[in-house]
Structure formats: C-alpha cells, structure tokens
Amino acid sequence: MPELPEVEVVRRGIEQWATNAQIIAVEVLDPRSLRRHVGGPEDFIARLTGQRLAVGQRRGKYLWIPIDEGYNAVVVHLGMSGQLLISQPDIPDQKHLKIRITYTTGESIQELRFVDQRIFGGLYLDSLLPTQDQPGELIPSTVMHIGRDPLDEHFDTEVIFLKLRKRKSSLKRALLDQSLSSGIGNIYADEALYLAELHYARPTETLTRKEVSRVYKAAEQVMTLALAQGGTSFDALYVNVNGESGYFERSLQAYGQAGEECSRCAAQRSAGELEARRGPGVIVREKFMGRSSYRCTVCQPRPRKGRW
C-alpha cells in the first residue's frame, strides 16, 4: 500500500501539472470508485464539472485538491493499487481506468485519470473544516481524525511522547496508528525502527523522550530520502503521475532484507568498532501484527517484556 512518500510524490505531480486547471468534463467508468461519495456518480459529475483545481494538499496517506466552491475539495484515497495519472487525451485508456477528469490549462487539454486494479481506493467530494490547533488551516471533514505526519511542520514529538506514556502498546503498533501520527506504513516503520535501533515490540510506556524523538526523526529522515528517490515501488501498481516507478527499494536497509548482514554492523566491523564478543547482526523476518517485520538481531535486541 502506498505510504506517505508515495502519496506526496503524486501530490507534487498534481501540483505541477494541474494547479489552476479548469475541469471541463468528468466521466465515471466504474461507480465502485465513488462508493465513498454519498451523492453517487451523477452528483459527483455535476458538482465537479466547471470547478477550478487549487494546489493539492496531503495529510498522511490522504490527498485532496481544493476546488472553487460546493463541497470544497476532491479527496483521493489510493488504497492498495490506486494511481492518479496525468494523460494526453489521445493516449489509450489504461486497463483499469475508473474515473476520467478532463481539464484545461489555457490552450492545453489534459486528463487526470484514476486507475485502480483492486478497487480499494476511490475519489469523493468533501467539505473543508478548520483544524483545532492551527488557525486558518483547512482539511476535509473525513480526514480530521488523522494525526499529523513527521514531515508536517507542526508535528510535535512531545505530544506523541505524552500520549505514548499513557498507552500500553508496542512501538510499531503506535507507529502504524494513523490517529497518532500518519503516513507511516509497514515499510517505513521497519526502516525507522532500524535507523533508531529500537525493537518493534518495545512497550510504549517504557520509552524515553530521547527514544521517541529518535524514532520519529528516523521516520522523517527515511521518508525524506524516499521522496528524493520517487518513493518505493515493488511492482507496477505504484507510480507517479507520469507512470514512473520510484526506486527507494534499492536503499532499504531492513525491510525485505531477510538473511542479509546488517549494513550498520558490517560498517562497524570494518572500522574495528564491533565488540569482539559480539558478531555482526543479520536481518531477520518475523511475524508481528499479522504482517512481516524486519530487524537486526544485534542492533535491535528483543525487549525483555515486549508486547507481541
């Protein structure tokens, strides 16, 4: 499933190619991609046609594009396989094309196409509401429950720390909780934990301020690097608006690296910093929360009272 960097890559593409675009036509090829829109396809088409798109916004994995009036924003949820593509009208339709939005920017006519193979994603119109903590900031009503993400300028690790101290949970479960902090999925959670040298089952109430700050700073660093490389693409389902795949997969240190020697341990061994009694670590794949988790056997030791 696309995580924060992948959604942000798409948002930046929409900002570049569709900001101030005037919508001249909307075509719904599969109503299932509008199941989150209460009014149905006809209402969606009527309300969106003629609107002008503003600069795309994002919180966590949610992307929305403010419009002139009416519901105020078209919200995009990519789900597991959703793609938002900028296409020329003469380009043949993609196999799983669900919604076509035709727009004009001056003399140029282009199409914003929503393609979704598994149909878990979709589009819908929603009203924008002010946030409680930042005057003047507006987000869709259906996104109000989503927490800020580590790339948000208003993200506050102290707030996260105080909430974690009151929970009896595990660190990775907390990282994946989108109401606490958004945008971090399985891939970047494992990468952040590896970078911060913390185990995924660490009880949250035992974390110090420094450890909480360290793991979220690690998440910010990992996702910033992923953004610079266009996100992570393991197959053809995630692409940017031009249909291009990201290549951060090549930089992953933990996720998907089971059986490989830990690169940090290897570097320490080469530098003569590895303790004689401690051998280099190996990345292992373990089951946690019904999914795979990857960690180094040395850098991320099992906590004595971990929450599994």
Q: Give the DSSP letter string of 22-47.
A: EEEEEEES-GGGGTT-TTHHHHHHHH
Distance separating alpha carbons of residues 144 and 293, to the nearest angstrom: 29
* Active-site pick, 2, 5, 140, 150: 2
* Active-site pick, 32, 35, 209, 291: 291
Token pair listed for 90: 């003469």
Angstrom distances, CA of residue 59 to CA of 1, 11, 148, 149, 237: 16, 11, 7, 7, 21
- The DSSP H or E segment spanning 293 is strand 291-296
* Active-site pick, 61, 172, 214, 264: 61
Distance separating alpha carbons of residues 46 and 67, to the nearest angstrom: 13
Instruction: Please confirm, yes or no, whether 3 is among the known catalytic residues.
Output: yes
How would you class 262 by CB atoms within 10 Å of its CB: exposed for 0-12, middle for 13-18, buried for 19 or more?
A: buried
* Active-site pick, 3, 6, 8, 220: 3
Q: Are 278 and 258 in contact (CB under 8 A)?
A: no
Instruction: Please confirm, yes or no, whether 291 is among the known catalytic residues.
Output: yes
Instruction: Please confirm, yes or no, whether 61 is among the known catalytic residues.
Output: yes
Instruction: Please confirm, yes or no, whether 205 is among the known catalytic residues.
Output: no
Distance separating alpha carbons of residues 33 and 30, to the nearest angstrom: 6
Q: Which residues are catalytic?
A: 2-3, 61, 291
